[in-house]
Amino acid sequence: MFSIIALFGVLGNITTGLVYLSPAKTFWRIARNRSTEEFESIPYICKLLNAYQWVYYGIIKPDSVLVATINGFGAVVELVFIVIFLVFASTQKMRVRTAILFGALDLVFPCSIILAHAVPATWTVKDRYFRHLLCCLQHDHI
């Protein structure tokens, strides 16, 4: 039987998916004009970091498939947006800055968090709460 909790989970995933896709019009404009104009890359880099953290949380928390899947989708969408941003960056300085931010915030930081938590042989409930706290600090709601 389909529960009300599952229904709201699916509705939440649909809404979250639409939020991840909301900048599509902006990126269509960037690709059409072949320039990022005055747009900044930091919101998309931060959204990718946020998606990574929620995917990680969804993987380690039991029964959180919906959290992991929608944020996995969001991570792919944000990666596409960042690649478009890098390809059409209006200046070399903006391209370099975006690449550095991407490397530091979306590659090094998530890998260090995962390694720091993968070192313990057993994952206790206390560890899971700490990882949940990291995800909550990045995102303003659960």
**Whether 78 contacts 44, CB under 8 Å:** yes
Tell which residue, 68, 72, 70, has the closest CA to residue 15: 70
pLDDT at 134: 67
In one letter, which amino acid is 107? L
Query: What distance in Å separates the CA atoms of residue 62 and residue 59, rounded to the nearest whole number?
Result: 7
pLDDT at 140 over 70: no
pLDDT at 15: 95
Structural domain boundaries in the chain: 4-138
pLDDT at 36 over 60: yes
pLDDT tens, residue by residue, 41-73:
999 999 999 999 899 889 888 888 889 999 999
pLDDT at 142 over 50: no
**Whether 114 contacts 56, CB under 8 Å:** yes
User: What's the whole-model pTM score?
Assistant: 0.79
Query: What distance in Å separates the CA atoms of residue 28 and residue 16, rounded to the nearest whole number?
Result: 20
pLDDT tens, residue by residue, 99-133:
999 999 999 988 887 777 766 545 566 666 766 67
DSSP conformation class of 106 = I
pLDDT at 136: 67
With cut-offs at 50, 70 and 90, classify the pLDDT of residue 141: very low
- How high is the mean pLDDT of the chain? 85
Tell which residue, 60, 42, 58, has the closest CA to residue 100: 42
